[in-house]
Structure 1
Amino acid sequence: MDVNIRDMEERDLPAASRIYNEHAVATTYSYTSVDTTVEDRLSWWREQVADDRPVLVAEVDGALAGYANYHQFRTGGGYDVTAEVTIWLDTPARGHGVGRKLMTELILHARADHRLRNLLSVIDSENERSIGFHSAMGFTEVGRLPHIAYKFGGWRTAVLMQLAVG
């Protein structure tokens, strides 16, 4: 499997929107419950670029297989040293090292980002595959937020995982 990691471009937004809707909105991997549009993703992407935050894509055989970014964790100034990581893979890309390549490149960006000391990932407690992936990438569990969200008729617990980068 030939994987190319590069910066996201506007032409990637339709595929990124589809992946997000299928894997974030339609599952408990994220607590988002509203589909995104290409226009929504365009605004999001422009904000990330304007804030000098990386938005990386993985191409497999010329097709978008996933994307990853880090973004501001919380506002208020004091949190500027921490960024939240997001990674979304299309189903065919899972289990083939695509996520590892994306996250490795994202971590390299974070280590070079003078603003950052920490990366944080918020993961549903039942998403054992993602928890294991983040652990293998060096993240450690630092807390749980029980019943922090409600989706698909059930209460959700979030796991916070952190990686020191600075």
Structure 2
Amino acid sequence: MIRKATVLDLPAVKEIYNYAVLNTTATYDINPKDDKYFVDMLNEHTGKYLLSVYEENGNVIGYVALSRYSKRDAYDITAELSVYVKNDCQNRHIGTQLIEYALQEAQKNNRFLTVVSLITSENEHSIYLHKQFGFEFGGRIKNAGFKFDRLLGVDIYYKNFQ
């Protein structure tokens, strides 16, 4: 079941995200985030922005966010998509369901005209998944980050609804 996140979901969201921070290049964060970070995240995802969780048997095992793409006003028609799934729940199409849900929400009442994802260039699984939803390659920034003692690129994928 996918539903809007509440403050009670934040410990599970924190666990999922911090695992990615410490073990993957899915995020360019290097240090785990504290409770305040996730409370702020929940508070920032109100109104047209979205933070939803995937719950199974009472446990949050994934989440999706449609976040502000930029603080500049002209970008208010664009959201940044982020999807994270608990490590031991990968390859069960949970990410697929979360992206599908977020894209449906993004289109409701013309909430957003464009959704953007910034994906580590080596993350072939995420790139494949985004392409399945019609995201287009918008460019690559080489050497955009440094994590695990190596340089990483980031690919920009976007989906326009009009």
Q: Report the TM-score when normalising by structure 1.
A: 0.92
Aligned to 2:124: 128
Aligned to 1:142: 138
Q: How far apart in 1 are the matches of 2:8 and 2:80?
A: 24
Q: How far apart in 1 are the matches of 2:138 and 2:32?
A: 30
Moved over 4 A (4+): none
Do the aligned residues in 2 keep the contact of 1:107 with 1:165 (CA within 8 Å)? no
Aligned to 1:23: 20
Q: How far apart in 2 are the matches of 1:147 and 1:16?
A: 28
Q: How far apart in 2 are the matches of 1:113 and 1:86?
A: 21
Q: Counterpart of 1:14 in structure 2: which amino acid?
A: P
- Going from structure 1 to structure 2, the CA distance change for 1:115 and 1:6 (only over 3 Å counts) comes to closer
Q: How far apart in 2 are the matches of 1:113 and 1:123?
A: 27
Count of residue pairs the alignment pairs up: 162
Alpha-carbon deviation of 1:119? 0.3
Note the alpha carbon deviations across 1:31-64, whole angstroms, 9 max, x for none.
1112112221011111112x43111100122211
Do the aligned residues in 1 keep the contact of 2:48 with 2:111 (CA within 8 Å)? no
Aligned to 2:38: 41
SS of the residue corresponding to residue 78 of structure 1 reads helix
* Structure 2 residue 14 is the aligned partner of structure 1 residue 14: no
SS of the residue corresponding to residue 45 of structure 2 reads helix
SS of the residue corresponding to residue 116 of structure 1 reads coil
Do the aligned residues in 1 keep the contact of 2:21 with 2:31 (CA within 8 Å)? no
Do the aligned residues in 2 keep the contact of 1:110 with 1:165 (CA within 8 Å)? no
Identity of aligned residues (%): 26
Alpha-carbon deviation of 1:26? 3.1
Alpha-carbon deviation of 1:5? 0.7
Within 5 Å, which residues of 2 pair with 1:1-166? 4-49=1-46, 51-166=47-162
Alpha-carbon deviation of 1:24? 3.2
Alpha-carbon deviation of 1:20? 0.3
Do the aligned residues in 2 keep the contact of 1:67 with 1:87 (CA within 8 Å)? yes
Across the aligned residues of Structure 1 and Structure 2, the Cα RMSD in angstroms comes to 1.3
Q: Counterpart of 2:128 in structure 1: which amino acid?
A: G
SS of the residue corresponding to residue 18 of structure 1 reads helix
Gaps of 5+ in 2: none
Moved more, 59-68 or 20-29: 20-29
